[in-house]
């Protein structure tokens, strides 16, 4: 079951993120700050989702709009407990996020990740889910650690056409050669 996060989930969420081995101490500290802002009402309350089972928290996803854009969002966090990886839970969480954004009419979802070999499984996951490598910034995180940005178009842009029948008739009778 995918559900919104609650304050009671905080410790388990930090432990899950740490258990993946993909987050360093700086990232975990930043996650604590984000959660504090989230539960303090400083961040929209519908962008943090988790999935759990009888053994506790299994996965988490957090997404937010990209500043100064129209319909572009970032997936800032997606993680699945190591003993539950490879069971489709991450894919289900990602699809949930994509569907929520598509239902709102959002256009693009971006994901940033490391270019280090230890992140190859993460990058393969995004490719498998239909994301394309859009950009690579060399030595971004540190020397030898590129930042890779993946992109997925959620909804085709809507083209508004003037419904002027005379203009349409002229266009069809005067094709561009």
Q: How many CB atoms lie within 10 A of CB 122?
A: 20
Residue with tokens 């990740």: 113
pLDDT digits (tens, 9 = 90+) for 136-173: 999 999 999 999 999 999 976 655 566 544 443 443 34
pLDDT band at 41 (very low <50, low <70, confident <90, very high): confident
| Higher local confidence (pLDDT), 104 or 43 | 104
Is position 12 within any domain?
yes
pLDDT digits (tens, 9 = 90+) for 97-123: 999 999 999 999 999 999 999 999 999
Is position 23 within any domain?
yes
Structural domain total, the chain = 1
| Higher local confidence (pLDDT), 121 or 46 | 121
**Res 17 pLDDT > 50:** yes
Cβ neighbours for 148, distance < 8 A, ≥ 6 positions apart = 112, 113, 114, 115, 123, 133, 135, 136
* CATH code for position 11: 3.40.630.30
Cβ neighbours for 169, distance < 8 A, ≥ 6 positions apart = none
What local confidence, expressed as pLDDT, does residue 43 receive? 74
Is position 127 within any domain?
no
Q: State the burial class of residue 162 (Cβ atoms within 10 Å of its Cβ: 0-12, 13-18, 19+).
A: exposed
| Alpha-helical regions (H) of 40-164 | 89-103, 120-128
Q: State the burial class of residue 167 (Cβ atoms within 10 Å of its Cβ: 0-12, 13-18, 19+).
A: exposed
Is position 30 within any domain?
yes
Is position 26 within any domain?
yes
pLDDT band at 24 (very low <50, low <70, confident <90, very high): confident
Give the strand pairing for 56-65 and 48-53: antiparallel
Is position 8 within any domain?
yes
DSSP 66: P
**Res 94 pLDDT > 80:** yes
Q: How many CB atoms lie within 10 A of CB 10?
A: 16
pLDDT band at 176 (very low <50, low <70, confident <90, very high): very low
**Res 174 pLDDT > 60:** no
Is position 118 within any domain?
no
pLDDT digits (tens, 9 = 90+) for 62-89: 999 999 999 999 999 999 999 999 999 9
pTM of the model: 0.82
Domain span at residue 75 reads 2-107+154-173
**Res 177 pLDDT > 70:** no
Residue with tokens 């060399």: 138
């Amino acid at each position: 079951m995918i559900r919104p996060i609650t304050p009671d989930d905080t410790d388990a969420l930090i432990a899950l993120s740490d258990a993946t081995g993909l987050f360093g101490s700086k990232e975990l500290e930043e996650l604590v700050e984000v959660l504090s802002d989230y539960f303090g009402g400083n961040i929209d309350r519908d962008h943090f989702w988790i999935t759990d089972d009888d053994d506790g928290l299994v996965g988490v996803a957090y997404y937010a709009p990209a500043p100064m854009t129209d319909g572009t969002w970032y997936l800032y966090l997606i993680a699945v407990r190591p003993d539950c990886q490879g069971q489709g839970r991450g894919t289900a969480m990602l699809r949930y996020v994509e569907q929520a954004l598509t239902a709102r009419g959002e256009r693009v979802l971006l994901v940033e990740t490391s270019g280090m070999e230890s992140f190859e499984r993460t990058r393969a996951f995004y490719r498998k889910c239909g994301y394309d490598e859009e950009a690579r910034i060399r030595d971004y995180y540190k020397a030898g650690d590129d930042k890779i940005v993946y992109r997925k178009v959620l909804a085709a842009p809507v083209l508004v056409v003037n419904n002027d029948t005379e203009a349409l008739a002229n266009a069809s009778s005067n094709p561009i050669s």
